[in-house]
């Protein structure tokens, strides 16, 4: 099964840093928006106050002149002087009660209506106005109109003083630039601070992630070295405790598993020995077949687990012989055809007995019991399988079992010298035995001989027989070992 593609990982450091920067900028923008609204209102209020004061002062100065025969002679110098001293004023003008200009800095405008008022509209003032006073404005300027009253309260004209709003706009723009600069600086510092802080906070998380990866890989000795007293430290402690318990549970499970396997091994070995003793075979036959099969399996490139299965299962290759009558099993002479047919039944009987269990060892043992007398050319029994249709376990045990049978004492003959046994086995290469496995066996014969010598003595003196000897006719090569 192909592993699923790993989802793209987003950096928490980056996410938190960028979120902090965005939050700071949004906060600054919001604060600036509120601040600017208040600043604009305050500046406008101050402007209106000063404008009204200027207008009221001019109205007071203009009253007497408006009642004179030539008001412009007095009013023009007054207006001109005012504009010279107050450069922030856009214009100042004195009107008679008909709205005609009587005082203006430009002489040519005298006698005209004030056209500048045409585009201005009255707007709600932020300061208190007196009777007759009004404030007018468009987007560029604000103007205050104040009546000129005679001492008796009679209105004799009015004055209009205007200021443009450019300086307010300029001040606000300058403020906006400063705020933007400040916001950028704060966002940068805040982002860096968030990045560093996040890195410190997430360092334990990295240690936990790496530790969990090792634990997931089976390393239960892993301890996550997180000293932080934060929730992450508590999490690391909890994981360490969990890992400790997991290790203990795994050790118990392994011990129980080993116990089960050992029990199976003992049962198998005992069964094999029962058969071995009953058929009066040379002591240690099943041990030599077990070790020799595992060795040949290893030479053939089988996995360590398969070799171990072979070693544990091979002792039961002849377990079916428990159903063979003693008269046939231990007959010293040649078996009749009928007796041989009975003897051959041990393969199927053994396979049947062993197939009652689903344990891997018993499944392997059932295969070996069923197929250790099959021949590479299909002339074997019980199924007449050929070539690689015979399980490799069966092909391996066939070679090792035959070798040990030939070189061990039997009830029907004495052990055969090594050279003679190998000559006989060579003649069966490609007919009885898998040729490749047999070549491997032959190429490493010294190892098999050494294995037999160190396992159980084949003869009383502990040496493998090397003298010439005759193979009993009662047992074809490879038949019950």
Residues forming the site for Fe ion (CB under 5 A): 318, 401, 480-481
CB-based contacts of 457: which residues, under 8 Å, 6+ apart? 284, 463
CB-based contacts of 426: which residues, under 8 Å, 6+ apart? 442
Q: How far is the CB of 373 from Fe ion (least distance, A)?
A: 6
Integer Rg of the chain from CA: 57
Q: How far is the CB of 246 from Fe ion (least distance, A)?
A: 44
- Of 352, 481, 312, nearest to 413 (Cα)? 481
Q: How far is the C-alpha of 441 from the C-alpha of 310, rounded, in Å?
A: 16
Task: Supply 325's token pair.
Answer: 């009558």
Q: How far is the C-alpha of 470 from the C-alpha of 427, rounded, in Å?
A: 16
Q: Given the complex with Fe ion, which of 71 and 481 has the nearer CB atom?
A: 481
Instruction: Say if residues 190 and 21 touch (Cβ distance below 8 Å).
Output: yes
Q: How far is the CB of 242 from Fe ion (least distance, A)?
A: 51
Q: How far is the CB of 286 from Fe ion (least distance, A)?
A: 7
Q: How far is the CB of 401 from Fe ion (least distance, A)?
A: 4
Dihedral sign computed on CA atoms, order 327, 332, 337, 340: positive
Q: How far is the CB of 393 from Fe ion (least distance, A)?
A: 14
Q: How far is the CB of 400 from Fe ion (least distance, A)?
A: 9
Could you tell me the CA-to-CA distances from 431 to 52, 217, 224, 416, 434 in Å, in that order? 127, 48, 62, 21, 8
Q: How far is the CB of 398 from Fe ion (least distance, A)?
A: 9
Q: How far is the CB of 410 from Fe ion (least distance, A)?
A: 10
Instruction: Say if residues 293 and 316 touch (Cβ distance below 8 Å).
Output: no
Q: Given the complex with Fe ion, which of 96 and 276 has the nearer CB atom?
A: 276
Q: Given the complex with Fe ion, which of 54 and 281 has the nearer CB atom?
A: 281
Q: Given the complex with Fe ion, which of 54 and 318 has the nearer CB atom?
A: 318
Q: Given the complex with Fe ion, which of 211 and 481 has the nearer CB atom?
A: 481
**105-122 per-residue burial string, b: 16 or more CB within 10 A, e: under 16:** beeebbeeebebbeebee
Task: Supply 410's token pair.
Answer: 């039997």
Q: How far is the CB of 422 from Fe ion (least distance, A)?
A: 18
Q: Given the complex with Fe ion, which of 96 and 318 has the nearer CB atom?
A: 318
Q: Given the complex with Fe ion, which of 157 and 480 has the nearer CB atom?
A: 480
433: which strand partners? 429
Q: Given the complex with Fe ion, which of 137 and 329 has the nearer CB atom?
A: 329
Q: How far is the CB of 481 from Fe ion (least distance, A)?
A: 3
Q: Given the complex with Fe ion, which of 32 and 393 has the nearer CB atom?
A: 393
Q: Given the complex with Fe ion, which of 63 and 293 has the nearer CB atom?
A: 293
Q: Given the complex with Fe ion, which of 58 and 347 has the nearer CB atom?
A: 347
- Of 455, 365, 437, nearest to 399 (Cα)? 437
Q: How far is the C-alpha of 341 from the C-alpha of 476, rounded, in Å?
A: 13
């Amino acid at each position: 099964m192909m592993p699923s593609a790993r989802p793209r990982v987003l950096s928490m450091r980056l996410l938190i840093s960028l979120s902090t920067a965005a939050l700071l900028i949004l906060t600054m923008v919001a604060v600036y928006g509120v601040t600017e609204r208040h600043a604009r209102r305050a500046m406008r209020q101050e402007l209106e106050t000063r404008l009204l004061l200027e207008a009221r002062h001019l109205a007071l100065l203009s009253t007497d002149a408006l009642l004179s025969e030539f008001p412009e002679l007095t009013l023009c110098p007054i207006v001109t002087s005012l504009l010279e001293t107050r450069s922030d004023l856009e214009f100042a003008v004195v009107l008679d009660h008909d709205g005609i200009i009587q005082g203006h800095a430009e002489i040519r405008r005298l006698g005209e209506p004030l056209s500048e008022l045409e585009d201005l509209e009255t707007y709600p003032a932020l300061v208190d106005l007196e009777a007759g006073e009004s404030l007018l404005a468009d987007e560029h300027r604000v103007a205050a109109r104040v009546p000129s009253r005679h001492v008796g309260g009679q209105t004799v004209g009015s004055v209009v003083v205007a200021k443009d709003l450019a300086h307010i706009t300029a001040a606000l723009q300058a403020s906006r630039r400063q705020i933007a600069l400040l916001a950028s600086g704060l966002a940068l510092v805040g982002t860096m601070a968030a990045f560093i802080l996040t890195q410190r906070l997430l360092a334990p998380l990295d240690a936990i992630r790496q530790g969990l990866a090792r634990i997931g890989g089976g390393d239960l000795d892993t301890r996550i070295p997180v000293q932080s007293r934060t929730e992450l430290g508590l999490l690391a402690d909890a994981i360490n405790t969990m890992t400790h318990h997991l290790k203990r549970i795994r050790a118990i499970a392994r011990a129980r598993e080993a116990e089960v396997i050992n029990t199976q091994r003992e049962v198998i070995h005992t069964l094999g020995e029962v058969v071995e003793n009953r058929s009066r075979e040379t002591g240690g036959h099943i041990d030599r077949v077990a070790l020799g099969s595992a060795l040949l399996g290893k030479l053939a490139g089988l996995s360590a687990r398969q070799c171990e299965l072979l070693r544990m299962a091979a002792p039961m290759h002849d377990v079916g012989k428990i159903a063979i009558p003693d008269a046939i099993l231990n007959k010293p002479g040649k078996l009749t055809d009928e007796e041989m047919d009975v003897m051959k039944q041990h393969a199927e009987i053994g396979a049947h007995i062993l197939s009652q269990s689903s344990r891997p060892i018993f499944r392997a043992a059932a295969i070996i019991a069923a197929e250790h007398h099959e021949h590479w050319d299909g002339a074997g029994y019980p199924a007449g399988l050929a070539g690689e249709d015979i399980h490799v376990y069966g092909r391996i045990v066939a070679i090792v079992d035959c070798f040990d049978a030939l070189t061990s004492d039997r009830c029907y003959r004495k052990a055969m010298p090594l050279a003679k046994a190998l000559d006989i086995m060579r003649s069966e290469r490609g007919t009885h035995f898998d040729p490749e496995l047999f070549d491997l066996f032959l190429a490493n014969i010294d190892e098999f001989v050494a294995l037999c010598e160190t396992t159980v003595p084949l003869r009383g003196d502990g040496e493998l027989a090397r003298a010439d000897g005759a193979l009993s006719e009662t047992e074809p090569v490879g038949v019950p070992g």
